[in-house]
Amino acid sequence: MTGRLLAISDLHIGYPENRAFVAGLQPEDPADWLIVAGDVGEMFTDIGWALATLADRFERVIWAPGNHELWTPAADPVQLRGVRRYEGLLAVCRKFGVVTPEDPFPVWPGEDGPVAVVPLFLLYDYSWRPDGAATAEEALRVARAAGVVCTDEFRLHPDPYPTRTAWCHARVAAAEERLLALDMPAVLVSHWPLRREPTRALRYQEFAPWCGTSLTEDWHRRYDVVAAVYGHLHIPRTTWADGVRFEEVSVGYPREWSRRGPAPRGPRVIL
């Protein structure tokens, strides 16, 4: 196999510049696989367009949802909420052959393989808190006082779970069960970083409660992980922890990527 395992996230195609970037995104090799690690967009039909477009071009597309896909914007004709919205997106993915966190893990057969590509949907539980905040409630008070409150609080509904924390814990438990059954190395793919450390680079530490969960801090040691792919922070970079490579592959908003060049960077090579 001559292709590559590529990854990208935070396409945010609600911005015309980002939509044009996705419209022009092409594989260099017809055997290339593409990981899309969440935050494709907010509007249901836009998300479907982007995933269908990419699935038509790449040998395989693997998607893990971000928080923006799970929003229910008032202007969206599709008013599904919570688990029902996620299930609606799963149906769209299956229509176009996109691999989701609910499907069998595809096995990358290239020179670095065999390696399972593991898309995860994990959410967050407010356990990553700014200094001095001992509880989730205190962390939210600190964030509100600083004027840093994630839009998820208004648009990401956990129905039928009572809270986003409860939904997160259910997702983590389900993922752990599947990971324990893996019998080969893996690339873990999550929109939210698995470790707290990458959030230390955030300009506003008050945003950290919406960025992940302490329940996944040791997954790169507990499981046979070749690399971990994530997005969400809009700080694209490569870091290492305990010999494991962590790749943030986010595109971000035009005001962010335009600081680095006239166009967004293309997908990152993972394997």
Contacts of 214 (CB under 8 A, 6+ apart): 125, 127, 128, 196
Residue 117 phi/psi, 5-degree rounding, is -100, 115
For 225, other C-beta atoms within 10 Å of its C-beta total 22
pLDDT tens for the 271 residues of the chain, in order: 679 999 999 999 999 999 999 999 999 999 999 999 999 999 999 999 999 999 999 999 999 999 999 999 999 999 999 999 999 999 999 999 999 999 999 999 988 879 999 999 999 999 999 888 999 999 999 999 999 999 999 999 999 999 999 999 999 999 999 999 999 999 999 999 999 999 999 999 999 999 999 999 999 999 999 999 999 999 999 999 999 999 999 999 999 999 999 999 999 999 9
Across the chain, mean pLDDT equals 97
Report how far Cα 196 is from the mean position of its chain's Cα atoms.
15
Q: Which residues contact 83 (CB under 8 A, 6 or more apart)?
A: 159, 160, 161, 167
pLDDT in tens, 96-107: 999 999 999 999
For residue 33, the cross-strand partners are: 5, 60
How does pLDDT run across 204-242, given as a tens digit for each residue? Answer: 999 999 999 999 999 999 999 999 999 999 999 999 999
The pLDDT of residue 111: 83
Whole-number Å distance between alpha carbons of 156 and 138 = 21
Residue 114: cis peptide before it, omega within 30 degrees of 0: yes
Task: Sketch out the chain's domains with CATH numbers.
Answer: 5-269 (3.60.21.10)
Residue with tokens 């993922």: 175
Q: What is the Cα–Cα distance from 188 to 183, expressed in whole angstroms?
A: 14
